[in-house]
Chain A
Amino acid sequence: MDTNTLKKYFNEMYADNGAVRDIYGRYGLWLKDLPDGTLERRNAEAELLFRRLGITFAVYGDAGEAERLIPFDIVPRIFGAAEWQRLELGLKQRVRALNAFLHDIYHDQEIIKAGIISAHQVLNNAQYRPEMKGVDLPNQVYAHIAGIDLVRIAENDFYVLEDNLRTPSGVSYMLENRKTMMRLFPELFVKHAVEPVEHYPQMLLNTLREAAPPNVAYPVIVVMTPGSYNSAYFEHAYLASQMGAELVEGQDLFVHQQKVYMHTTEGPQQVHVIYRRVDDDFIDPRVFRADSTLGVPGLMEAYCSGNVALANGVGTGVADDKSTYLFVPDMIRYYLGEAPLLSNVPTWRLSEPDDLSYVLAHLPELVIKEVQGSGGYGMLIGPTSSKAEIEAYRLRILAEPAKFIAQPTLALSSCPTLVESGVAPRHVDLRPFVLSGKDVRIVPGGLTRVALTEGSLVVNSSQGGGTKDTWVLED
């Protein structure tokens, strides 16, 4: 193993002196005794399983092969019970504050009046939806499903990289990864008490039920997808079938007198909750993008009259914007009166002249992201970029500084990963999925994403990242 890498980055499995960390103790012993070639063989089996089940992920712009497997790594990422408990509390706290913020800015806007965040920052944000002003949502929940991306820098040092409050994806990989690991390595699950994650769909179903309009005893719940060519279509279909909900497209729904119905073989049937995996911009051509064929004309009117619930709610993007991100610790203090349990990554806003001049002077060390970007598209990673790339990016920043934020290049922790040369450390992050209904709930762990290229810090599946099963060990 490359000892340089070990010193530079926190390794999830090995301590600095090369000893196996306690949490990985049993796994380490098992791995040591494993006959040569076993991991490679089971890895080939895993790939076959995924391909046959058709668990694929389409990458935009990848015309040659519309369906691709997200590489699955068979070395698990393991958390101890105490480690996880701290994360869980921090995640729940953060999501509570974010939902409180969304309710506030679409109602009395106290946080603006209190001078904590500027009216400009909120109201001029492209993701702020004035249509939502004064609309009351059950339990005051806007982001029913949140994916909070965490990175680890040291044993006790976690940062929130970003909040995903629109249509976060990846949970089906969390579920399938576990299923695959249990099939490939039953002996490991005998040796370890791993917290189960398989009940996530039930938890999601409960969350969606709680989102239903009040007075509906048996809400009809559907999952709405942009269609089978969407990159996350597999996940939409998977979750629908796991919850026993219909998987609908916009063309399956219509609105009549502010109520939403679906076309069935039995005629029209009313729908009460839509878990929609279609972005705000596309859900209703009468209100948002008129050229959208993915949505349902009249849906917003039905939604605002309270006859149908959307999960996530409309207008959540204003809270997961990378420039709003900066204010989340303040939101936690303001709405909950608590000290934030999870830290933000220090962030420079390039709309501020001081921040801008600092960042322009330090581009080769920093990571620059578009405020509206997601999925790892359009970012600059200073340390791994060429001079020419940096200069090209500098011009983009200067053209419109407010479109960007900057962060230090984080030394993401690494986790042993099976690559061609054997087992080697690769950088990882973690996306836990936080569900908000009457309560805030979370299944232990989440989706660990891994950058498969040596030295790479980009874990996004759209950029060639893979995933791992994430274990939270019981006490």
Chain B
Amino acid sequence: MLSRTAENLFWMARHIERAENTARVLDVAHRTSLLPLDIEGTQAYLWYAPLNITGCADSYEVKYGLAKADTVSHYMALDPDNPTSIYSCLKLARENARTVRGAITSEMWEVINDTWLELNRLPKQMDYEKFRDFFDWVKNRSHLFRGVTLDTIIKDIGLSFIKLGTFLERADNTARILDVKYHILLPSLNDVGGAADYYQWGSLLKSVSAFEAYQKTYRDVISPQRVSELLIFRDDMPRSLHACMDEVEDALMAINGQSGKEARRLAGEQHAALHFGLTQDAFSEGLHEFLTDFLKNTALLSREIREAYLSRQDTAMIRQLTT
């Protein structure tokens, strides 16, 4: 496969996943903002969380200053000036798809193109109460895209690059959500079962569609160890780090070939740490440190994938031809 095609497939999937994740993070902030404020401190505090998770707090402050419900929602959902807004992600995903139209199915293209056309029919400034519907729509479009992809695309390495993009982005997002919220998990050991914890953990779980999974799996009050176990180590939870790295490793194995040995090694190592790791170890190491390490390794893996498969350096190629 052309490196440029692989690159665009990878980023197409990554941008769609990112749009969905941003919608999830904002959705939770909207839900939480409906609760009495003392549960998560001031309003500004509440609205910094989504900015921090998606890493756009600095650029937001330059434009708007203090974090407020309506401006944060607009900035992260619809602002074309924000390169990580849902709007920008869906635009970039469509650009990626357009560039590799021949490598995706017409059905996939129609979902992405329709999404973009529908997005452009929405008002440029959305009423605050319309945002929840919008987030649902974004999630649905993303689900639809993945469903259509799995149902229509040929199972070759093109699909593997799509999966790589999806699951690296998702792993990254889950780790960031946990990291930004880890303070909720740690100090509350002595307050297990309290109402505040219930809502905070509940919202965290809901942001990654894990609330029902938690209830089903543990049938017990929400505890920090279990939340971490569910979202980090359990491989049956679709947005957990372990499940994501399962997919990443599988995709790299399917791509296989001459290139990418180091990428496969890194993914294998990371996967093994999650496969054999223990929740209590992550806690004793410090959850923040554990997650920081994970994010660092994921970035390393992404770079390795870029260099092995996606970049187009003539000199590197000629070296391959002459050896």
Report A-chain residues with C-beta under 8 Å of the C-beta of B284: none
Instruction: Contacts A256-B321, A266-B259, A267-B317 known; list 20 others, CB within 8 Å.
Output: A51-B117, A52-B113, A52-B114, A54-B101, A237-B101, A240-B102, A248-B2, A251-B312, A252-B2, A254-B317, A263-B3, A264-B3, A265-B1, A265-B2, A265-B157, A265-B257, A265-B259, A265-B310, A266-B1, A267-B259
- Residues B114 and A264 in contact, CB atoms below 8 Å apart: no
Q: Nearest CB to that of B315 among chain A residues?
A: A254
Q: Does B95 contact A (CB under 8 A)?
A: yes
Q: Is the CB of A241 within 8 A of B102?
A: yes
User: What chain B residues lie within 8 Å of A267 (beta carbons)?
Assistant: 258-259, 317, 320
- B290 interface residue (CB < 8 Å to A): no
Q: Which residues of B contact A249 (CB under 8 A)?
A: 4
Query: A5 an interface residue at 8 Å Cβ cutoff?
Result: no
A174 interface residue (CB < 8 Å to B): no
A261 part of interface (Cβ distance < 8 Å): yes
Partner of B4, one of A54, A237, A240, A252: A252
Contact A263 B2 (CB under 8 A): yes
Given contacts A228-B98, A266-B257, A266-B259, contact A54 B317 (CB under 8 A): no
Q: Which of A52, A233, A246, A266 contacts B5 (CB 8 A)?
A: A246
Taking A252-B312, A254-B318 as contacts, is the C-beta distance between A264 and B102 under 8 angstroms? Answer: no
Among A53, A54, A264, which residue has its beta carbon within 8 angstroms of that of B2? A264
Which one of B1, B157, B314 has the highest number of Cβ atoms from chain A below 10 Å of its Cβ?
B314
A265 contacts which of B6, B99, B100 (Cβ < 8 Å)? B6
Tell me if B225 counts as interface (CB < 8 A to partner A).
no
Q: List 20 A-B contacts (CB under 8 A).
A: A54-B113, A241-B102, A247-B102, A252-B2, A252-B3, A252-B312, A256-B317, A261-B321, A263-B2, A263-B312, A265-B3, A265-B161, A265-B257, A265-B309, A266-B257, A267-B258, A267-B317, A268-B318, A268-B320, A268-B321
Q: A151 on the interface (CB 8 Å rule)?
A: no
Question: Scoring A residues 279 to 323 as 1 if CB is less than 8 Å from chain B, else 0, what string do you get?
Answer: 000000000000000000000000000000000000000000000
- For the complex of A and B, the 9 pairs showing the least CB-CB separation, nearest first, are A241-B102, A237-B101, A263-B3, A265-B309, A263-B312, A254-B314, A268-B317, A240-B102, A267-B320
Q: How far is the CB of B237 from chain A (nearest CB, A)?
A: 31
Residues on A with beta carbons closer than 8 Å to the beta carbon of B101: 54, 234, 237-238, 241
A266 and B106 contact, CB distance less than 8 A: no
Known: A240-B102, A254-B318. A266 touches B110 (CB 8 A): no
CB distance from B5 to the nearest CB of A (A): 7
Q: In the complex the two chains form, is B2's CB within 8 Å of A262's CB?
A: yes
Asked if B321 and A54 make an inter-chain contact with CB atoms under 8 angstroms apart, the answer reads no
Q: In whole angstroms, what is the CA distance A132 to B197 when docked? A: 78
> By CB atoms of chain B within 10 A, which of A54, A237, A247 has the most?
A54
CA distance A254 to B117 in the complex (A): 37
Candidates A228, A238, A251, A264; contact of B1 at CB < 8 Å: A264
Q: Which B residues lie at the A interface, using CB under 8 A?
A: 1-6, 95, 98-103, 106, 109-110, 113-114, 117, 157, 161, 255, 257-259, 309-310, 312, 314, 317-318, 320-321
Prevailing SS type, chain A contact patch: mixed
- Let me know if B2 and A228 touch, CB within 8 A: no
A197 to chain B, nearest CB (A): 19
A265: chain B residues at CB < 8 Å are: 1-3, 6, 157, 161, 255, 257, 259, 309-310
**Contact residues in B for A256 (Cβ distance below 8 Å):** 317-318, 321
Whole-angstrom CA separation of A447 from B101 in the bound complex = 23
Determine the chain A residues whose CB is within 8 A of the CB of B259 once the complex forms. Answer: 265-267
Show the binding face of A for B, using Cβ within 8 Å.
51-54, 228, 233-234, 237-238, 240-241, 246-249, 251-252, 254, 256, 261-268
For the complex, what is the distance from the CA of A141 to the CA of B40, rounded to whole Å? 75
Q: Give complex CA distance A15, B259 in Å.
A: 68
Chain A residues positioned under 8 Å from B321 (CB to CB)? 256, 261, 268
Check if B6 sits within 8 Å of A52, measured CB to CB: no
Q: Given that A267-B258, A268-B317 are contacting pairs, would A53 and B110 also be in contact in the complex, using a CB cutoff of 8 Å?
A: yes
Q: Which residues on A sit within 8 Å (CB–CB) of B99?
A: 228
A337: min CB distance to chain B, Å: 44
Chain B neighbourhood of A234, CB < 8 A: 101
Nearest chain B CB to A272 CB, angstrom units? 16
**A54–B258 CB distance below 8 A:** no
Instruction: Evaluate contact between A237 and B3: CB separation under 8 angstroms.
Output: no
Which residues from A are CB-within-8-Å of B102?
Answer: 237-238, 240-241, 247
Give chain B residues whose Cβ lies under 8 Å from the Cβ of A238. Answer: 101-102
**Roughly how many angstroms separate A268 CA and B259 CA in the complex, as a whole number?**
11
Distance in angstroms from B121 CB to nearest chain A CB is: 12
- A51 vs B318: C-alpha distance when bound (angstroms): 42
Within the complex, the shortest CB–CB distance from B92 to chain A, in Å, comes to 13
Q: How far is the CB of A125 from chain B (nearest CB, A)?
A: 34
State how many angstroms separate the Cβ of B316 from the closest Cβ of chain A. 9
- 8 Å CB contact of A54 from B109, B309, B320: B109
Q: What CA separation (Å) do A252 and B314 show in the bound complex?
A: 9
Chain A: minimal CB distance from B289 (Å): 35
Expressed in whole angstroms, the Cα–Cα distance for A238 and B100 within the complex equals: 10
Q: What residue in chain A is nearest B7 (Cβ atoms)? A: A265
A249–B8 alpha-carbon span in the complex (Å): 13
User: Which residues of chain A are near B2, meaning CB under 8 Å?
Assistant: 246, 248, 252, 262-265
Contacts of B157 in A (CB 8 A): 265
Complex interface: chain B residues within 8 A of A263 (CB): 2-4, 312, 317
Residues of A within 8 A of B114 (CB): 52
Give the nearest-CB partner of A237 in chain B. B101
- Kindly name the residue among B1, B100, B102 whose own CB sees the greatest number of chain A CB atoms within 10 A: B102
Shortest distance in angstroms between A235's beta carbon and chain B's nearest beta carbon? 11
CB-based nearest A residue for B257: A266
Query: Please, which residues of chain A bring their CB within 8 A of the CB of B109?
Result: 53-54
Residues from chain A with a CB closer than 8 A to the CB of B310 are 265
**A51 to B110, alpha carbons, bound, how many Å?**
10
| Most B CB within 10 A of own CB, among A241, A246, A252, A265 | A265
| Chain B residues within an 8 Å CB radius of A251 | 4, 312
- Give bound CA distance, A119 to B223, whole Å: 90
**Cα of A246 to Cα of B309 in the assembled complex, Å:** 16
Q: Which residues of A contact B106 (CB under 8 A)?
A: 53
| A266 and B258 contact, CB distance less than 8 A | yes
Report B-chain residues with C-beta under 8 Å of the C-beta of A268: 317-318, 320-321
Contacts of B318 in A (CB 8 A): 254, 256, 268
Closest partner residue, chain B, to A262 (CB atom): B2
Closest to A241 in B: B102
From A254, which residue of chain B is reached at the shortest CB distance? Answer: B314
Q: How far is the CA of A246 from the CA of B2 in the complex (A)?
A: 7
CB neighbours of A237 from chain B (8 A): 101-102
Residues of B with C-beta under 8 A to A261: 317, 321
Which residue of B has the minimal Cβ distance to A246?
Answer: B2
**Once the chains are docked, how many angstroms separate the CA of A340 from the CA of B257?**
57
Report the minimal beta-carbon distance from A284 to chain B, rounded to whole angstroms. 15
